[in-house]
Amino acid sequence: MAAPPPIGNRVRELREAHGNLSQAALGDAIGVTRHTIIAIEQGKYSPSLESAFRIARFFGVGVEDVFSWHG
């Protein structure tokens, strides 16, 4: 198993706070698959800057409210 990237995120927390939004619905909203949302939540994949902004915009927060650097 490769070391996960030193980037944490609150995607799952924000999703649950938004009426327990499904991973598929969030994926559809930002243009990625459900599996990519799962990978982001599990820290297995760091999204592109564009997707990071899309996620933040979707939840109505700033990018740094969603993603944090742990390096």
Partner 1 sequence: MRIWAESSFREKSSWLMGALMIAMAVWYFGRVGSQAWLPGAALPVGALIAYLFLTITGSIIVQVALAISNRGEAGNPADERERAATAHAVAWAGHVLTVVLVSALLWFMAHRDGVVLFHSLFAGLLCAQMVVHWGTAWLLRRGF
- Where does this chain bind partner 1 (CB under 8 A)? 1-2, 4, 27, 31-36, 39, 42-45, 47-48, 50-51
Q: How many residues belong to the chain?
A: 71
Quick one: 14 or 37, whose CB is closer to partner 1?
Answer: 37
The C-alpha R_g of the chain, in whole angstroms, comes to 11
Decide whether 16 or 50 has the Cβ nearer to partner 1: 50
Q: Is 40 left (phi over 0), alpha (psi -120 to 50) or beta?
A: alpha
Q: Would you say 4 or 17 has its CB closer to partner 1?
A: 4
Q: How far is the CB of 68 from partner 1 (least distance, A)?
A: 18
Structure tokens of 65? 């409210």
